[in-house]
Amino acid sequence: MVRAVFLDRDGVLNRSLLRRGLPHPPDTVEELEILDGVKEALERLRAAGYLLIVVTNQPDLARGTQSLERLEAIHACLSETLTLDEIRVCPHDDADGCRCRKPLPGLLTEAAAQHGIDLAASWMVGDRWRDIDAGHAAGCQTILIDYGYPERAPSRAPDYVCRSLVEAADWILTG
């Protein structure tokens, strides 16, 4: 049985940039700040046998406000610094109607099909309602890293609420 921890990127691995109270991704590698304890939390999850797969919406590509080159540079930096198995990106905006944009589960279900992942034995960790809804839609257990963003709640409550990936890893590993 292959188990995975699916991880949103911004707000889970790296600091989100707040604008008008809402989170936004870093635009460049220079703006990328990996959150405290993330590297160690990922190493603990990996040691417990979990695949670590980033699933991230990056609609700024579709909107033309982010370049593919800058996004790839950010992901190269994350891959070089952290023990990640894969980074999966949805480059679409809501209007595109794709299956991979969270809250739809396409990024998770495609990874599960490719890697033979048991979704019921896996986790989705995110900081927004879209992450939690995608995790539930895929059949995963879910953890919300709650920053108190002024936005809607997930359609269904997460299985656990915490303040950091360190706390999320503790919950997964002791649960």
- Could you give the 3-state DSSP secondary structure of residue 14? strand
Phi, psi of 41 (to 5 degrees): -60, -40
Q: Which residues pair with 160 in a beta bridge?
A: 143
146 is catalytic: no
159 is catalytic: no
How many Cβ atoms from other residues are within 10 Å of residue 143's Cβ?
28
| The one catalytic residue among 10, 127, 131, 133 | 10
Amino acid identity, position 103 = P
| The one catalytic residue among 8, 127, 131, 133 | 8
Neighbour-count burial of 158, counting CB atoms closer than 10 A to its CB (0-12 exposed, 13-18 middle, 19+ buried)? buried
Query: Cβ(59)–Cβ(53) under 8 Å?
Result: no
Catalytic residues: 8, 10
